[in-house]
Structure 1
Amino acid sequence: MNKKNTTEKIFWKQPLTYLLVLMGAGGALLGERLIFQTTSSGENSSQLTQSLVAQSPNKTDTNYNSERSSWLPVRTPISNNNFIVDAVQKVGPAVVRINASRAVGQRPNFGREMPEDFYGFEGPGSNSSPVEQGTGSGFIISADGNILTNAHVVEGSTTVEVVLKDGRRIEGRVLGTDSVTDVAVVKIDANNLPTVSLGDSSNLQPGEWAIAIGNPLGLDNSVTVGIISATGRSSNDVGVPDKRVGFIQTDAAINPGNSGGPLLNQNGEVIGINTAIIDGAQGLGFAIPINNAQQIAQQLIKVGRAEHAYLGIAMQTLTPELKEELNRNFNRNIQFSTDRGVLVMQVVPGSPADQGGLKPGDIIQKIDNQTISKSENVQQIVQSKTVGSLLELEVNRNGENFNFQVRTGNLPSRLRG
């Protein structure tokens, strides 16, 4: 807890193809600022000022300045001067610090080769203590003490302490963790607690404001601001193929200790859980969309575990180049007549895909009448389904189209990382 790390790393390896472990709430695949350029000219500077004013959520009027031949903003103050202050005052009391301790060697197996400082954990030190300690963030979602955070913050912990903004320290217990989506719920015994307001992450647009609150490097209730840089970043895009999340990308600064804290919109509503950055890059932070996290949290609160739909195939996006290579080198008597879709590379024996009749060499063209062009499309569609959902697949096999029905199963525990 005294050692402060300055970077938060992601160090997962990404294979060429991956085993598709398709899920509903979580999805599945295994094995596959606006930059304002300003000049010294008054005209360009004025245009920039007007552009910024037009995008600001503050109410703004303009007055003409004859000396500069430009329109200048005249701001009408809002409560607390600006929307960032409003959002922070609204949410800040519900943001907590989570201190976790775990036995040496019990760190969760995230990414298999994840470096220590991703977790913000200290080693045992010179006294050879068998316990390592770390800190993260979280936010209160119910007045009776349910707290949402990242699984990697508390998974495997022997003790969990929650520090409220008012200084109270309360022992917490982990209701459940889900390594597939990196979501966890911690419970503290308290009442009438401040809570956050949850927003809607389904319709976020790049360019929207983003506000991060957390406890980076032990600096409680730190605030950073940026924008939503992108949405729907696949686990492969982020470099974590074993996670089943369409991540929100933001340039709001995220540092060790921010993990588990809220990402807010300009209205002070939680739209995501801050979870990771890419080492060596600037302005590349990632958050779990709150809609997905809330769905998982409900399962963790209710039964202590989450279910994820599962198909059980290895797959790869089919391209003209791949088609040509496969037709030249495929060791079976199969010729691919189409170069668009998702190629089934392997089917796990006994899996839902196997039971549904899929075979290696099949090319998925449509799922539930939605055209499939990339492997990510399959992930996004299926991770919106629940266990037991019936999927209608249109598959090209040896030049002919066939229709299959595949009912999703529950992701086996051995495949959850």
Structure 2
Amino acid sequence: MHTQPQDVNKVSAESNTVELKSSKPNFYWKQSVSYLSTMLLGAAIAWSGSYYFFSHASMPQTRPALAQAIASPVQSRLPLSADGSNFVTPVVESVGPAVVRIDASKTVTSEVPEVFNDPFFREFFGGVPVPPQRQVQRGSGSGFIINSNGQILTNAHVVAGADEVRVTLKDGRSFKGRVLGTDPVTDVAVVKIEAQNLPVVRVGDSEKLQPGEWAIAIGNPLGLDNTVTVGIISATGRLSSQVGIPDKRVSFIQTDAAINPGNSGGPLLNAAGEVIGMNTAIINGAQGLGFAIPIATAQRIADQLIASGKVQHPYLGVQMVTLSPELKQEINSNPNSGLTVNEDKGVLVVRVMPNSPAAKAGLRAGDVIKKINGTPTLDASTVQQVVEKGQVGSKLSVELGRNGQSLTVAVQAATFPVEQQEP
């Protein structure tokens, strides 16, 4: 440990000795140092001038932004208003009072297993009758007020089969709710409470949504009332089969705003505080995959439920898939497919349901739907939307591609059979 200090002292002593013995070498040494100092000074001046020039002329915004980042290292990813708050806060303050909690309960009666009615069993246990088992199931969800006289929009699965519905407002008031109607096909329901002058939501345009727009979810996940989450619109037009609930007829909005059990029926909002969707589904085990019913669909269904308590959905009776060149090649190369596809684009009819409107009109598996009522159908979602917007009993003009030829057939839409889960 003492080696290094000894070496340093030795060098210093030798340097002093050299300096005492000769003044001429010292002169050259000083002269070299002088030249070196002059060169370093010039380089420093040149570097300082270059730094000043570039920092003030070439990159005028670099230094202020850097200084701001250093002064405030944690920045919000949300745009800020003039007072420094983000846009979410005023949205929540405005819409929050119109978001409600819905508690539903129903009594489920379990039948006595057949073994308990066996004479041997009854004799063995003294003939004591075994009463049916009754259990009260409870659940909660969310909803939002669409009319100041107490009409509330929520999911059908939140209130389906409920014996009692209770609606709690953000201000703490609680009301008994009456279910005006449910539609299991779209998972939309309307609940009515007896109250007046209630706060209501503003409705936006879900037809013009684009991926990347802001999305705000408000609801009561896992019993945590008035929870707010923020994300973006991840995608639009997700088919129910893609989401994992093929019995629904909805083209869902996908969002990465956190949605959990209890958020069902709550609003999905845009940056302006307008409702663009109703939160309804998640995929178990996934993160950032939430799905909402477009408000245009939910509102259309709600209007029918309020008017008549039920909804009639137009129905063609086909199973279909969006066609692509890869899918075409896969089908044609598979001898077990039983199909031959000649089209590269469109919607491929995979199956036609027996006795359905499509079957009566002559549609076949392997047909490729190109247009419906003049609307190009490049994906299955478009077909579903066009059919859903029609009326039961109306005729739809369907342009098909079959065996390399084009033909047009008229299909008269029937009422969708709820018990049947095909689209």
User: Is TM > 0.5 for Structure 1 vs Structure 2?
Assistant: yes
What is aligned with 1:231?
236
Structure 1 unaligned spans of 5+: 1-41, 60-75, 107-127
Q: Following TM superposition, by how much is the alpha carbon of 1:395 offset from its aligned partner in structure 2, in angstroms?
A: 1.5
Q: Which amino acid aligns with 2:237?
A: G
The answer to whether the aligner puts 1:314 opposite 2:319 as a matched pair is yes
Q: 2:368 aligns with which of 346, 359, 363?
A: 363
After TM superposition, give the deviation of residue 326 of structure 1 in Å.
4.2
Supply the distance in 2 between the matched residues of 1:53 and 1:387 (Cα, whole angstroms). 54
**Residues 148-182 of structure 1: CA distance to partner in whole angstroms, max 9, x if unpaired?**
00111000111111111121221111111111111
- Are 2:288 and 1:275 equivalent residues in the alignment? no
**Residues in 1 aligned to 2:402 and 2:187: alpha-carbon distance in whole angstroms:** 37
Q: Sort the Cα spacing of 1:335 and 1:152 in 2 relative to 1 into closer, same or farther, 3 A.
A: closer
CA distance in 1, matches of 2:287, 2:160: 28
Give the Cα separation in 2 of the matches to 1:260 and 1:46. 44
Give the direction of change, closer, same or farther, for the CA distance of 1:363–1:207 in structure 2 (3 Å limit). closer
Q: Quick one: distance in 2 between partners of 1:236 and 1:47?
A: 51
Q: Which range moved further: 353-362 or 92-101?
A: 353-362
Name the TM-score, length of structure 2 as normaliser: 0.72
Shift of residue 309, structure 1, vs aligned partner: 1.0
1:46 Cα deviation from its structure 2 partner: 5.6
144-153 or 243-252: which moved more? 243-252
When the two chains are superposed, the root-mean-square deviation of aligned CA atoms in Å is 3.0
Higher relative helix content:
2
Query: What is the rounded CA distance, in whole Å, between the counterparts of 2:361 and 2:68 in structure 1?
Result: 57
Structure 1 window deviating more from structure 2 (201-210 vs 407-416): it is 407-416
| Alpha-carbon contact 1:179-1:416 (below 8 Å) kept | no
Percent identity reads 57
* Displacement after TM superposition at 1:94 (Å): 1.2
Q: 2: CA distance between counterparts of 1:335 and 1:260?
A: 43
Matching residue of 1:151:
156
Query: How far, CA to CA, are the matches of 2:68 and 2:384 in structure 1?
Result: 40
Provide, for residues 343-368 of structure 1, a one-character-per-residue CA deviation record: whole Å limited to 9, x for no partner. Answer: 32332233221232223332222223
Which residue, 342, 352, 355 being the options, matches 1:350? 355
**85, 90, 93: which is aligned to 2:94?**
90
Contact 1:137 1:259 (C-alpha < 8 Å) held by counterparts: yes
Q: Is 2:83 the partner of 1:77?
A: yes
Distance in 1 of aligned mates of 2:179 and 2:292: 21
Alignment of 1:222 with 2:227, yes or no, is yes
Tell me whether 134-143 or 388-397 shows the greater mean CA deviation: 388-397
Match of 1:170 in 2: 175
1:181 matched residue in structure 2? 186
SS at match of 1:90: helix
Aligned-partner residue type, residue 259 of structure 1? S
State the shift of 1:293 in Å: 0.3
Instruction: Give CA-to-partner distance per residue, 1:360-386, whole Å, 9 cap, x none.
Output: 332222223333333333223322323
Question: For the Cα contact (< 8 Å) 2:238–2:381, is it kept in 1?
Answer: no
CA distance in 2, matches of 1:392, 1:46: 62
Instruction: Give the aligned length.
Output: 334
Q: TM-score, normalised by structure 1?
A: 0.73
Matched, 1:262 2:267: yes
228 and 328 in structure 1: CA distance in 2 versus 1, 3 angstrom threshold = closer
Quote the offset at 1:264 in angstroms.
1.1
Highest relative contact order (Cα 8 Å, sep 6+), 1 or 2? 1
Aligned to 2:146: 141
- Per-residue CA distance 1:283-338 (angstroms, 9 max, x = gap): 11111111110000000111001111100122334444554544763687x75433
Deviation at 1:195, TM superposition (A): 1.2
Residue in structure 2 matched with residue 203 of structure 1 by the alignment: 208
Match of 1:394 among 390, 399, 404: 399
- Unaligned stretches of 5+ residues in structure 2: 1-61, 111-132
1:327 and 1:336 in contact (8 A); partners too: no
- What residue is the counterpart of 1:71 in the other structure? none
Residues 80-124 of structure 1 show CA distances to partners (whole Å, capped at 9, x for unaligned) of x33211111111111111110012379xxxxxxxxxxxxxxxxxx
Deviation at 1:198, TM superposition (A): 1.2
Write the letter of the residue equivalent to 1:412.
P
SS of residue in 1 equivalent to 2:206: coil
Q: Which of 268-277 and 323-332 deviates more?
A: 323-332
- Report the Cα distance in structure 2 between the residues aligned to 1:331 and 1:252, rounded to whole angstroms: 40
Residues 102 and 344 (structure 1), Cα distance of their counterparts in 2 relative to 1, 3 Å cut: same
Distance 1:280 1:331 in 2: 33
Instruction: Please identify, of 286-295 and 358-367, the stretch whose mean Cα deviation from structure 2 is larger.
Output: 358-367
In structure 2, the residue corresponding to 1:217 is in which secondary structure?
helix
Alpha carbons 2:141, 2:220 under 8 Å: kept? yes
Distance 1:343 1:330, change over 3 A: farther
Distance 1:166 1:399, change over 3 A: same
Match of 1:329 in 2: 335
